[in-house]
């Protein structure tokens, strides 16, 4: 833990570089991407735009209606599955919803039909999104970005689109799928979350972002999900820009540095009952995922942490709260919570190996008092 804190805090500047694989160099993506560009003038300008323009509370508040509309589309889709007695692929629906959210903020249109979505179609979809001829609606999400910044070269703009689409959609949907998985494995925790929703929202039909601040248990279960299932298990690889001494070891310039967030989360040296799903551990706790608590860094820390945390956190809480408020959820008939598979498949993101499919039913609060 001490070594990691040195890398991400004490020597943050020295390890702010990026290790770039060949696949990332296509169309010079690594030169114009916020995620993969090296620490320098271009990266600082893109990061400044994120911090000062795109992901400020004021800008996100303006777009709250868009997020609300996309979540309602998700709920309509689930209602149809409910009426037909079908199961819902939680991760796939969350992924499609998040893509539509981002597409509406940039292009003011949906790119996924939740009624006919398929995993295989997403590859072609992403290529269409990143088409060099696609024209953005700058009046929505990017009013602060000047054309010289975005369009001086087509590759610059498309790199930025790729960062927003790929980085935001996959991590958000993965977190929601893992959260629902843990709640289905722990029905008592789901009941607590749904009772909190009842008491806070009451008879209101829809969850709003303004409700989230009054839902401490929901916030805690999201944190606990991120602790056990960080969306990017090894974060995005860092690189040493200069030769640096860390805890008696010499880390030479250009050395790739991986931060194992997946191992940090369930570390018994930092957490009691470290492998158990206990959202209660975060109640009345100041620990958060903003990069100051180095035993809990699902989004990284330091200057290369995720700039879109404010947007992703809003979307995860709103979608998860809406799914829990509108429906009760059950596993396939005959399957007990202890039988639910929790194996993960590792990639850049930590996805569930077997997609979660659950059966929704009309929600009733009877018996929760």
Q: Are 283 and 28 in contact (CB under 8 A)?
A: no
Q: How far apart are the first and last CA of the chain?
A: 43
Residue 296 lies in a domain: yes
Look at residue 133 in the predicted model and tell me its pLDDT. Answer: 46
Residue 64 lies in a domain: yes
Look at residue 338 in the predicted model and tell me its pLDDT. Answer: 92
Residue 369 lies in a domain: no
The domain tally of the chain equals 1
Please give the structure tokens belonging to residue 42: 């271009």
Burial class (CB in 10 A: 0-12, 13-18, 19+), 83: exposed
Residue 88 lies in a domain: yes
CA 287 from chain center: how many Å?
Answer: 18
Residues 6+ apart with CB under 8 A from 224: 182, 277, 278, 279, 281, 282
Look at residue 84 in the predicted model and tell me its pLDDT. Answer: 94
Look at residue 227 in the predicted model and tell me its pLDDT. Answer: 96
Residue 368 lies in a domain: no
* Nearest Cα to Cα of residue 279 among 216, 232, 338, 229: 216
- Going by DSSP bridges, is the β-strand pair 88-89/327-330 parallel, antiparallel, or unpaired? unpaired
Give the orientation angle of helix 168-185 with respect to helix 309-326, to 10 degrees: 40
Look at residue 115 in the predicted model and tell me its pLDDT. Answer: 80
- Residue 332: give the domain boundaries: 2-362
Look at residue 214 in the predicted model and tell me its pLDDT. Answer: 97
* Nearest Cα to Cα of residue 301 among 288, 287, 290, 291: 291
- For residue 77, the domain's CATH number is 1.10.630.10
Low-confidence ranges of the chain (pLDDT < 70): 1, 27, 105-107, 117-162, 164-168, 364-369
Look at residue 86 in the predicted model and tell me its pLDDT. Answer: 94
Q: Are 271 and 262 in contact (CB under 8 A)?
A: no
| HEC profile of the chain | CHHHHHHHHHCCCCCCEECCCHHHHHHHHHHHCCCCCCCCHHHHHHHHHHHHHHCCHHHHHHCHHHHHHHHHHHHHHHHHHHHHCCCEEHHHHHHHHHHHHHHHHHHCCCCCCCCCCCCCHHHHHHHHHCCCCCCCCCCCCCCCCCHHHHHCCHHHHHHHHHHHHHHHHHHHHHHHHHHHHHHHHCHHHHHHHHHHHHHHHCCCCCCCHHHHCCCHHHHHHHHHHHHHCCCCCCCCCEECCCCEEECCEEECCCCEECCCHHHHCCCCCCCCCCCCCCHHHHCCCCCCCCCCCCCCCCCCCHHHCCCCHHHHHHHHHHHHHHHHHHEEEECCCCCCHHHCCCCEEECCCEEECCCCEEEEEECCCCCCC
Residue 367 lies in a domain: no
Residues 6+ apart with CB under 8 A from 179: 221, 222, 225, 316, 320
Look at residue 223 in the predicted model and tell me its pLDDT. Answer: 98
């Amino acid at each position: 833990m001490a070594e990691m804190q040195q890398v991400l805090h004490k020597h943050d500047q020295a390890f702010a570089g990026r290790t770039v694989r060949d696949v990332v160099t296509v169309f010079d993506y690594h030169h114009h991407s916020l995620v993969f560009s090296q620490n320098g003038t271009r990266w600082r300008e893109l990061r400044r735009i994120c911090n000062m323009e795109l992901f400020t509370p004021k800008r996100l508040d303006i777009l709250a209606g868009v997020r609300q509309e996309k979540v309602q589309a998700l709920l309509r889709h689930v209602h149809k599955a409910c009426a037909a007695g079908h199961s819902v692929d939680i991760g796939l629906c969350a992924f499609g919803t998040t893509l539509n959210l981002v597409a509406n903020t940039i292009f003011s249109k949906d790119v996924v039909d939740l009624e006919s979505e398929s995993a295989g179609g997403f590859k072609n979809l992403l290529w269409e999104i990143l088409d060099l001829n696609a024209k953005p609606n700058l009046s929505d999400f990017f009013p602060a970005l000047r054309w010289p910044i975005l369009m001086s070269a087509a590759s610059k703009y498309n790199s930025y689109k790729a960062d927003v689409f790929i980085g935001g959609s996959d991590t958000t949907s993965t977190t929601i799928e893992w959260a629902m998985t843990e709640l289905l494995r722990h029905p008592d925790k789901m009941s607590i979350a749904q009772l909190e929703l009842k008491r806070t929202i009451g008879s209101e039909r829809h969850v709003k972002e303004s409700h989230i601040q009054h839902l401490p248990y929901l916030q805690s279960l999201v944190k606990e999900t991120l602790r056990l299932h960080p969306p990017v298990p090894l974060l995005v690889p860092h690189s040493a820009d200069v030769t640096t001494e860390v805890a008696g070891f010499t880390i030479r310039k250009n050395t790739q540095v991986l931060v194992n967030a997946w191992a940090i989360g369930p570390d018994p040296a930092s957490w009691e009952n470290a492998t158990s799903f206990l959202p209660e551990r975060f109640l009345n706790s100041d620990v958060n995922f903003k990069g100051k608590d180095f035993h809990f860094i699902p989004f990284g820390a330091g200057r290369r942490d995720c700039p879109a945390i404010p947007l992703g956190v809003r979307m995860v809480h709103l979608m998860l709260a809406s799914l829990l408020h509108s429906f009760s959820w059950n596993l396939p008939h005959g399957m007990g919570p202890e039988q639910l598979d929790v194996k993960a498949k590792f990639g850049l993101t930590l996805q569930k190996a077997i997609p979660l499919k659950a059966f929704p039913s009309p929600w009733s609060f009877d018996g929760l008092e």
